[in-house]
Amino acid sequence: MTGSCAHRPGADPVSRRNLLMVLASGAVLVACSENLATGRSQFAVVPDEALVQMADQAWSDVKGQSARSPDAAQQARLERVGRKIVAASGRSDLDWEFVVFDGPQINAFVLPNGKVGAYAGLMDFVQDDDELAGVLGHEVGHILARHSAERVSQELAVQVGVGVVTAVLSNGEYGQYAGEIAGALGMGALYGVILPYSRQHELEADSVGVGLAQQAGMDPAGAVRFFERMAAEGAGKTQPPEVLSTHPADGPRLAALREAVAALGRV
């Protein structure tokens, strides 16, 4: 993991609104560094401590609103495979927790504080531990790649940029159109920056995840089998155009995933 971007020592922890105020005031020193998990430069001005604090509250909310699955075997399986992936990741500094929530969704999620949730529908859908390792490797991959920090930083930067442009326009000859222009800029940032980065994040998490699965002693091709069956489940259903989606289309995603597994020498 690369170090996080510098931030003001002793800054109060943080709601998204406070983060926005800090960023706008220039108190955060913008530092882009290369992320070792992805190999690319990353803009992430939000400190990890702030994300963990927000994630703690989010996790508490999820557990308060979603019932835990009564299936003890599923809970044990998620914990067992998840711990293998965590050991491979090297992120023993986080207080990891794995919970199966009751629900038919074929889905899992991770928070930047190391909390991982999976739904009973996913646990029923995976055919073996290798497939589950592919899913959990993807989720832990988001943490290694610091995608949460990058995504929140992008959203805050867009808010600050649009606010500055609005203020400037309000004092000029286009003042009466300031709101409309700022809104258009915001939409441009969403579709031109934030959503493409979100799609890139998913591909990066796939790539990092298969590497973690292999390091954990699992078959990384399990991820390919899982997503092939997921794609088959969605075949024939109406999907939004990729440009309007937070996730890459199934075809390109599977191609990239197969390439990532092939690069590990485990086709």
Active site residues: 139
E-state strands within the chain: 32-35, 40-43, 97-101, 108-110, 115-119
Structure tokens at 39: 């190999």
Q: Which of 118, 112, 121 is nearest to 76 (CA)?
A: 118
With 0-12 CB in 10 A as exposed, 13-18 as middle and 19+ as buried, what is 29?
exposed
Angle, helices 129-144/221-234, rounded to nearest 10 degrees? 100
Structure tokens at 165: 């442009």
How far apart (Å, rounded) are the C-alpha atoms in residues 160 and 47? 17
